[in-house]
Amino acid sequence: MTKNKIFLFALALLTLACKDQNKKEALTIEPINWNNRLVNYSLNDTTLIYGTTYLPIYSQIYSKTELRTLDLTVTVSMRNTNRNDTIFIEKAEYFNTKGEIVRSYFDKAIYIAPMETIEIIIKEFDQDGGTGANFLFDWKIRPNVNEPFFEGVMISVYGQGLSFTTQGVKAN
């Protein structure tokens, strides 16, 4: 009988250790170092075309009733679809359901190289955005260059799993 108790205790400790390790790994994901992407010259060139893109995302969705929500991991994908030209993102602002700014990801223009994708990750347990979260991106491009492409990928692996995407639209 004592051996069974010891075995169950060891099994419980092992299970807890694995859960703690998984949580620790999730917390140690390094964010992008935006300083390495800063544009080191002025973007005041009058030939540059500027725009703003709105991207809806969902860090939470309703489940069964309006009183129960499911937290989601969000990948915000910023893509340069040009083969030869760099694009510039001047601002990436994250807003919550109430339209309040949650955070701004950089305060100086960054670049995205040709055919490059960079991402912002909203962790599953980050509930700051809520069910109606969104981003606004201010960007600049040279004439005759494709606009940046913005996409949100939301995922949860609980139960049978859930994933869906959203795409940015040009805003005024």
| Tens digits of residue pLDDT in 65-117 | 888 888 999 999 999 999 999 999 999 999 999 999 999 998 899 999 999 99
User: What CATH number should be reported for the domain holding residue 52?
Assistant: 2.60.290.11
Its domain, for residue 109, covers 32-171
d(CA 150, CA 45): 24
Note the Cα 149 to chain centre separation in Å: 14
| Same domain, residue pair 84 and 102 | yes
Q: What is the pLDDT of residues 26-42, one digit of tens each?
A: 444 456 788 888 898 78
Q: What is the pLDDT of residues 40-55, one digit of tens each?
A: 878 888 889 999 999 9
| Same domain, residue pair 89 and 109 | yes
| Same domain, residue pair 36 and 26 | no
| Same domain, residue pair 85 and 11 | no
Q: Could you tell me which of 130, 53, 137, 56 has the C-alpha nearest to residue 92?
A: 137
| Same domain, residue pair 47 and 16 | no
| Same domain, residue pair 101 and 167 | yes
The burial class, CB within 10 Å (0-12 / 13-18 / 19+), for 99 is exposed
Between 59 and 18, the higher pLDDT residue: 59
pLDDT at residue 14, rounded to an integer: 55
pLDDT at residue 114, rounded to an integer: 98
| Same domain, residue pair 58 and 6 | no
- The residue behind tokens 């309006």 is 66
| Same domain, residue pair 111 and 148 | yes
pTM of the complete model: 0.79
| Same domain, residue pair 25 and 45 | no
pLDDT at residue 72, rounded to an integer: 93
pLDDT at residue 41, rounded to an integer: 79
Can you list the positions of beta strands (E) in the chain? 49-56, 60-63, 65-71, 73-79, 87-95, 101-104, 110-112, 117-122, 134-141, 149-156, 162-167, 169-171
pLDDT at residue 160, rounded to an integer: 76
| Same domain, residue pair 127 and 151 | yes
Q: What is the pLDDT of residues 135-152, one digit of tens each?
A: 999 999 999 999 999 999
| Same domain, residue pair 52 and 3 | no
Domain count, the chain: 2
| Same domain, residue pair 5 and 88 | no
